[in-house]
Amino acid sequence: MFQTLWLAALIFFPICNSADTITPIQSVRDGETLISAGEKFVLGFFSPSNSSTNRYVGIWYNKIQDQTIVWIANRENPVRNSSGVLTIKGGNLVLLNGGHNNSIIVWSANVSSSTMENNSSATLTDYGNLVLKDGQQRTLWESFDYPTNTYLPRMKFGIKKRTGMNRILTSWKSADDPAPGEFSLGLDPQGVPQYFLRMGSDRIWRGGPWNGERLIGVSVMIQYSNLFNWSYVNNDDEIYLMYSLTNTSLTIRFFLDDSGVYQRLIWNDNTSRWNLMSVATQDRCDRYGNCGAYGSCDSNRVVECECLRGFEPKTPSDWKLGGWSGGCMRQRSLDCDGKGDGFLRLANVKLPDTSRSRIEPALNLEACKEECLKNCNCTAYASANISQGDHGCLMWDGELVDLRVYSDRGQDIYTRVAASELDGSAIEYSRGLKGKKKLLVTLLTIIAGLLLFVSFGYCWWRKAKGREINGRHDTVLNDNDIEENGKGSELLLFDVSVIAAATNNFSESNLLGKGGFGPVYKGQLLNGQVIAVKRLSKTSTQGIKEFRNEVTLIAKLQHRNLVKLLGYGISGQEKILIYEYMRNKSMDSIIFDKERSAMLDWRKRFSIIVGIARGILYLHEDSRFRIIHRDLKVSNILLDDDLDPKISDFGLARIFGQHQALANTNQVVGTYGYMAPEYAMDGCFSVKSDAFSFGVILLEIISGKKNSYYCDCCSMNLIGHVWEKWKEGRALEVVDSSMINISSFESEFLRCIQIGLLCIQEKAKDRPNMSSVVLMLGNETTMLSPMQPAFCSGKENCSNHQIVCSSINEVTITKMEAR
């Protein structure tokens, strides 16, 4: 009898079981896998690190070499050995520790027993969803309803209203521990539903409400609209967001990492790695409530926070120090009896937090305004749906929080203010001005007043301009100089006493380093913000001109790979610059340190190289001005908390005209080892001079060695060393040995070394511009073969010019005399 049953089971098994399905008689043991029908996903047991004995049941991509886990069953309760079995028991999907007999249930799908339990099955789909069905093919449970840290195509991301189940992404505790971490991303249904990224219970990012076309605060929906089809459902049963890919050959995932960064990643088959498409929090304005209540955030402003019109800072002293979270308050109270309140339009914004808002779908904007005015708690209104023309009414009750301004996207909002805050140029749907005659009189009065004000202002400006011209040769810089040259740059002016207090009176214990222009200190403002303070020494070679240059230049530059200037301080001859603090300091403190250089693997170094290149490209081609940095070097590349690069020190930078390609200077300033030959010898500089400096930096990052300069020109420097190895076909020998898995990236190393050598060609015309460099870094394009670069190989090459070397720390001033 037993043999008959065993034979029947053996015959039945291959007919009713496939490689993608678990049944009561077909389990998955540790060491075995389940593969989806189209071979896109795998289910099996894994350990998060090679040294870990903990075993988890997970799902990952089948054809991607780098095992990328997208879902885990038992993330809080690992199996401590290899005895785990995933099976169906009593109609339920369970993970057992120790097999079927006398085993312990480690994890369960918690589905009530099916009446046809022997026919229940769990199938892994090609979307990465593990689906448990009963014998009638009714879905009992699916892994998409219980996501871990990854949001996949076709996954419903939201809430089931009838059961209260909320599909929330939760980060791993660490890279080696998949237990739930402190970061989560999910839908909050309170008010008008919106998605929040949280650290614990604290909100750190908000996606904004659905406006009929997209989530207003999710840039990827516009940025990559050609890649995704988005659908948003809000009915009596559920609220969810779901996406599919327009090109099914692409592999894209949304991923919340253990540091709280929500990323969009795409797999690149050519490089066999995940490429970053975007992150949720791209700048400070993406941080939830960065500017507090009634404050707007704009990353294109030097000081990103300002109060809405009709509002002022609650605590002005905090705002002067960059503490904006306290927000703003009304300058004048509302008139709630309906006699005078009106609205001001603010265009292209991320609508504020909708937790205390409601939608009236039948109202248009005009009716929405009238409805808002009836309720004294109503503070703003906007269109609820912008698809196929504005329709529906979205109204806020209470404070407006987390409002940011976009340059090229966003939505209009109408904020409520007292009638006295309105003027003829800013009235939007206002009340309290009855009759056309009264309106005309008011407008004429305002126009007359404006003309008088402009006339008075012009006379004052002419007088002030004359004083400024007469006093142009004054040697003491004052705040008016900065204001005029900064053109209203909105930089914060710090009292020197405040800066002294922040740095413990410029204590040696706060010293971060010393440069050619003076020491740099770490400081902390009263609001807790950590800053870097550059105190120009009175004997510094950076004089008033260079100081003004650095302030006015950086104030107008906004790029993720440029260091941000927060403010400045002036008192007599004391000149101070306040920057954002970079915890990882300058890059030379890492790559030239034998112990710390291991922090930077090749993936991170390559990312840094690309970031530097993009920052220089912005200076050369994409900023408001064409800017030549003239002092690019490793010590002027700062690294933020994520080890992303930021170019600093613009004291020597020069602005070019839009069509200007070359300039000369009588005084060559810069750093030996990074200066292009035409600049060092003839004082000629251009975008190709910066390209030369970038080439040196690139080779230093790859090799972990300095391009040492020697006045006698006898010793071969790094450039010469790399060139010799390149000619011999042994270029990989220059790669920093502190990096591991070098063999996996040989083609990238060779490509980057070739780009570096192309950048340091002796003739400027032979070097690529930075747009070509960025293109070559991102693609395996055919490149020219480099010729012998510019470097000293012996004394005979130094006989054409007498070079006088005089160094002030790292910055060197060179004067040439023709022989």
> Which amino acids are annotated catalytic?
631
Q: How many residues does the chain have?
A: 819
What distances in angstroms separate CA 84 from CA 46, 98, 100, one per listed residue? 11, 6, 10
Would you say 557 and 482 are in contact if contact means Cβ atoms under 8 Å apart? no
Residue 18 contacts residue 125 (beta carbons within 8 Å): no
Instruction: Select from 578, 702, 559 the least CA-distant residue to 623.
Output: 559
Could you give the 3-state DSSP secondary structure of residue 655? strand
Contacts of 765 by beta carbon, 8 Å cutoff, 6+ apart: 688
Question: How far is residue 259's CA from residue 678's CA, in Å, rounded to a whole number?
Answer: 46
Report DSSP letters for 487-532, one per residue.
TS---EE--HHHHHHHTTTT-GGGEEEEETTEEEEEEE-TTS-EEE
> Would you call 807 helix, strand, or coil by DSSP?
strand
DSSP labels for 566-614? EEEEEETTEEEEEEE--TT-BTHHHHTSTTGGGG--HHHHHHHHHHHHH
CA-wise closest residue to 718 among 728, 707, 726: 707
DSSP letter at 761 equals: B
Q: Where are the alpha helices (DSSP H) in 286-364?
A: 316-320
Closest CA to 363 of 388, 382, 342, 391: 391
Instruction: Report in angstroms the alpha-carbon separations of 333 from 330, 341, 417, 420, 487.
Output: 6, 10, 8, 10, 33
| 3-state class (DSSP) for residue 331 | coil
Sorted by sequence, the CB contacts under 8 Å of residue 486 that are 6+ apart come out as 551, 552, 555, 556
Instruction: Tell the burial category of 79 from Cβ atoms under 10 Å away from its Cβ (0-12, 13-18, 19+).
Output: buried
Q: What's the DSSP call for residue 155?
A: -
Helix, strand or coil for residue 320?
A: helix
CB atoms within 10 A of CB 159: 22
Q: What is the residue-wise DSSP string for 165-203?
A: EE--EEEEEETTEEEEEEEEEEEE-SSS-EEEEEETTEE
CA distances from residue 153 to 122, 127, 567 in whole angstroms, order as listed:
20, 7, 45
Side-chain-facing half-sphere of 467: CA atoms under 13 Å = 8
